[in-house]
Each structure stands twice: as C-alpha cells, then as structure tokens.
Amino acid sequence: MTVLMFHSVGCEKNEWYRNWLSVSLDHFESFCKFLVDENYETVFLDEWYNEQGSPSKESTRKVVLTFDDGYLDNWVYAYPILKKYRLKGTIFVNPEFIDNSENIRFNLEDVWDNKINVGELSPIGFLNWSELKKMDSSNTIDIQSHSMSHNFYFHSNNIRDIYTGQPHYDWMAWINKPHRKPYYTTENQKQFVPFGNPIFDFGRALGLRRYFPDENLVKYAIELYSNNEKLRDKSLLIEKLNKKLITFPGTYETDEEMEKRYRYELFESKSLLEEKLNKKIDFLCWPGGGYNDLSVNLSIEAGYKASTVSFKDKKLVENNADDYKRIKRSAMGSFISTNTKYHYVKDSNYLINLFKYHNGSVLHKNLYRINKLGFIILDKIGL
C-alpha cells in the first residue's frame, strides 16, 4: 500500500518562503480524478496499520494520502476536493501552530454554493480548532500528531552563519515568539530576531541534544554587527565570534532536560489532540524525519502505534511485523528542485506521473530524470 506525503494545496503562487511545499489545484484535482478513474481506494492509517506485516492482506489498489503541518489551505482547498471525489486524507498537526481564531473560514464549498467568489478565499495560514473538529468528524479527514512544536534547534557550537533576515531561518522567530507561530506565513517576523545573531549548526527538535549559546556571546555578536560596518562581512564576524567562544562556550541539555523536552513534544501533542477532538491519536509524523532512539522509544511509551520513517531508514519497513510500525511515505509536489531553485512543473498530469514513478514505473522514473535535467540546463544558461 502506497503512503503519499503532501503538505500545502493551492498556494504555489503565494508569496511565502515555503510555497514550493504546495501542489497546485490543477495538479491536485487531476490526481484525485485519476485515483477515482483507476479505482484506487484511499484509506486512513488504521487500515494501513492492519495490513502491515501480512503480505496476503496488502493491497496495491489502496493509497494513504497524508498532509503535513496543518496549513489552512487543507481546509480551504484539499478538504472540499477530497469530499467531491469521495477520497480520504490524514492531516498531521502541530498544536503550537494551530490558529487562535474560532470561526470556521470560507472554503471551496462556499464558492460552489455561490456564497463567495474564489478570489475572496484566504488560504494562507494555519487551521484552527473549529476547522480541525469539522474535518475530523467527517469521513474524509483523519487528524493525527506531528509533535508539538516542529522547531529546529542548535545542536553544536559551530557557527555556520549570521542572521540578517534570511527567510530560511524563519524558525528563529518561532523560538523567540512562540505565540506568533501560526501567523508566520501572513506577517513579517524578521524583527523577532536581532540581526547579527549567530546561527549555529541546527537540526530537527526530536533528533538532537539542544545547544544553548551563551547570552554574552549572542549580545556581543549583535552589538558588533550593529555598530561596525566592517564586521557586516560575515566571515570576519564569525572569525571574531569563534575566538570569543573560548570565553563563552555555551551549554548543552542534560539527559534529563532532553527527555523532558521530548516528552512534551510527544505526550502533550497526543494528549491535547485527543482531548480537543475526543478521539484516540495513534499515529505520529516526525517533523522533517527528525528522530533518534530516545524519541522513538518515548513515542512507543506514549502509545503511538506507528510513526513515519526517514528515507535513510527505509530498511526498517521491509518487514514491519512488530506491533510498533514505521510508515514509509513518498513525497508529492508540483516542483522539481535543483541546486539553485525550485521549478514548477506545468504539466497537469505531473502528480499522476510522480505517483507512477513512486510505484516503480521505470518509464516515469526516467521521465522525472529528463524533467530535472532540463531544469538544471535552464539554471546553467540563466533562464
């Protein structure tokens, strides 16, 4: 049974840094129609779970559609289209990103009912509890856990960059102003992090021991950046900061602190979702595929029946006969990435071809490679 990974739907043209996570409405609806026309059945993860480890039960005509992060467009676009085609999807949600609003917002169903024009829909942002409850009470969407925070954290005292408002460090604002996390796609949060702040080696929250820079070093870095134009050269600033690290080396989490943080991420997200949605939460998606032995063991202790697996650990799903199972997923997107950018693929059948590639089609694997090579060539000639 194939498990597919989506994120956002219908926001590929919007001005937010991660718009490459979004599949276009054209691609998404074409793919949904394909699943129906080809007699594929979409199921929730509990049915997937019951078929694991039993080859005689496994079906190649069943598909699990999963959506990470809980974007508002999952309500605005994905949910109505899935309902239209009588398909099912699973949304993995981080409670720290759930919007604080209470009213259910307009979606495509309201457009179809002539209550609003499609151009008046507002798909950017994150889901609120009302929308989550509405979808989860249907037979179309199943809500599951994506941990609490989805944060990145520093894990060593190696300085790799200096913060000057780069969009790919938007997670720095999540840490400094956690109550504003649900709005990072709709507001400018660069001011939440002082320019000049050193960026150390970082990774996913549930796969590392957190490193805490010394506050004196951070203050020193910010002042140097602010007051000395010559030190706006990042290499010079990093060189000075590395010398200062001898005096202010920073600290690391203790074993106890790390376990406490992991427990919050795994136990609290499960408990909160179960309380709010009045249901059992059995499945966990690791943000960014970040986990380690401790976090996996704690997820088992928390009562999760299965969790996603990183592509590097794909051997863990070859048997999948243990009670605690691992979910191997295949990424679905409207973009092909090269070393320099993300390229949108215009072909409306692109997700269909990508699905066939994931299901082992040599022809569609080669078509993907040809597509990517074409974009690499375009990059080189500057188009």
Same domain, 123 and 202: no
The tally of domains found in the chain comes to 2
Domain contains 85: yes
Same domain, 220 and 104: no
Same domain, 31 and 114: yes
Same domain, 184 and 213: yes
Same domain, 273 and 240: no
Domain boundary among 230, 255, 280: 255
Same domain, 368 and 271: yes
Q: Give the alpha-carbon dihedral of 73, 78, 80, 83, to 10 degrees.
A: -150
**For residue 173, how many C-alpha atoms fall within 13 Å in the half-sphere facing its CB?**
21
Domain contains 131: yes
Alpha helices for the chain (secondary structure H): 25-37, 45-51, 73, 79-84, 108-112, 129-136, 171-176, 215-227, 234-244, 255-263, 269-277, 293-302, 350-358, 362-380
Residue among 57, 89, 56 nearest 71 (CA): 89
In the predicted model, is pLDDT for residue 151 greater than 70? yes
Report the relative pairing of strands 41-42 and 325-327 from DSSP bridges: unpaired
Q: Give me the pLDDT at residue 311, please.
A: 81
Q: Give me the pLDDT at residue 121, please.
A: 96
Same domain, 140 and 276: yes
> Which residues form the domain of 307?
2-148+263-374
Q: Give me the pLDDT at residue 130, please.
A: 98
Domain contains 382: no
Whose tokens are 């997200």? That residue is 269
Same domain, 184 and 43: no
Calculate mean pLDDT across residues 21-41: 97
Q: Could you give phi then psi for residue 208, rounded to 5 degrees?
A: -150, 165
Q: What is the band of 377 on the pLDDT scale with cuts at 50, 70, 90?
A: confident
Domain contains 11: yes
Domain contains 225: yes
Same domain, 21 and 80: yes
Same domain, 144 and 157: no
Domain contains 17: yes
Q: Which residue has the higher pLDDT, 319 or 38?
A: 38
Same domain, 132 and 280: yes
Domain contains 208: yes
Domain boundary among 195, 228, 255: 255
Return the axis-axis angle of helices 255-263 and 293-302, rounded to nearest 10°: 40
CATH code of 30's domain: 3.20.20.370
Q: Give me the pLDDT at residue 230, please.
A: 65
Same domain, 185 and 143: no
In the predicted model, is pLDDT for residue 120 greater than 80? yes
Domain contains 380: no
Domain boundary among 220, 255, 290: 255
Query: Does the predicted TM-score (pTM) go above 0.75?
Result: yes
Q: What is the band of 56 on the pLDDT scale with cuts at 50, 70, 90?
A: low
Whole-angstrom Cα Rg for the chain: 22
Locate 253 and state its tokens: 């989490």
* 203, containing H or E segment: strand 198-204
